[in-house]
Amino acid sequence: MKTPRLAWAPTAALALLAGAALAAPLSAQIVSTFAFGAPSRAKIQGSDLQVAGKLGVALPPTPHLLLLWNLAGAGFDRFQGHNGAALETGLEAWVSPARRPAQSWGPLLLAEAALGRRFGVGLHGYQALGIGAGWSLGDWVPYLEFRRRASFHAGQPVDHQILIGVHFVLFG
């Protein structure tokens, strides 16, 4: 009998809930993210866009640096003419000349590393690396990011993206 492809999904959901429960009593910021993306190294067509959302928890702050664990990210994209959806988790760093990057009303340098799974033709399991810049406007942080998604499987195409989005500090 063939094993279902999503057999790991209940375990991942339980791990996510356990992580959220452990992080709840910490004095941390909860950050939501919404972004639009387009390919950066191809002829951009109206159908080759991406929409993504994330929910993250800021780890204990240090001066001039905010580390953010994006617990859950979900997105929809059209990659090389094929529709797909992706789930991911990762770490993000916000570096600022201000002592406290979030709500600093100043510039930010953003870096991201993530692992994910795309359902649809193309990347399947992937790693994502990104670098960008943003500006803190209180609870809102609009940003621009260059992001590279590469499959764990040899021979799969690499997805280069330009994302325009906003982080919003929900709590903290």
Q: Report the amino acid identity of residue 90.
A: G
Domains in the chain with CATH codes: 28-171 (2.40.160.20)
Give the tokens for residue 165.
């989005």
- Global pTM? 0.76
Examine the pLDDT at 14 and tell me if it is beyond 50: yes
Residue 3: the pLDDT is 46
CA distance 138 to 103: 4
Query: Any idea which residue has 């770490």 for tokens?
Result: 91
Give the tokens for residue 8.
């790991």
With CA atoms as reference, report the closest residue to 73 among 62, 59, 84, 85: 85
Examine the pLDDT at 40 and tell me if it is beyond 70: yes
pLDDT band at 101 (very low <50, low <70, confident <90, very high): confident
Residue 53: the pLDDT is 94
Examine the pLDDT at 25 and tell me if it is beyond 60: no
Q: What is the mean pLDDT of residues 57-62?
A: 85
Q: Which of 12-26, 48-62, 154-168 has the lowest mean pLDDT?
A: 12-26
pLDDT tens per residue across span 131-161: 999 999 988 999 999 999 888 887 777 888 8
For CA atoms 159, 165, 171, 172, the dihedral sign is: positive
Residue 4: the pLDDT is 47
Rounded to the nearest 5 degrees, what angle is found at the Cα of 10, between the Cα atoms of 7 and 69? 115
- Better pLDDT: 11 or 148: 148
Examine the pLDDT at 1 and tell me if it is beyond 50: no
Examine the pLDDT at 8 and tell me if it is beyond 60: no
Radius of gyration of the chain measured on its C-alpha atoms: 17
Say whether 83 sits in a helix, a strand or coil: strand
**Residue 169: partners with Cβ closer than 8 Å, 6 or more residues away:** 29, 30, 31, 102, 103, 139, 140, 141
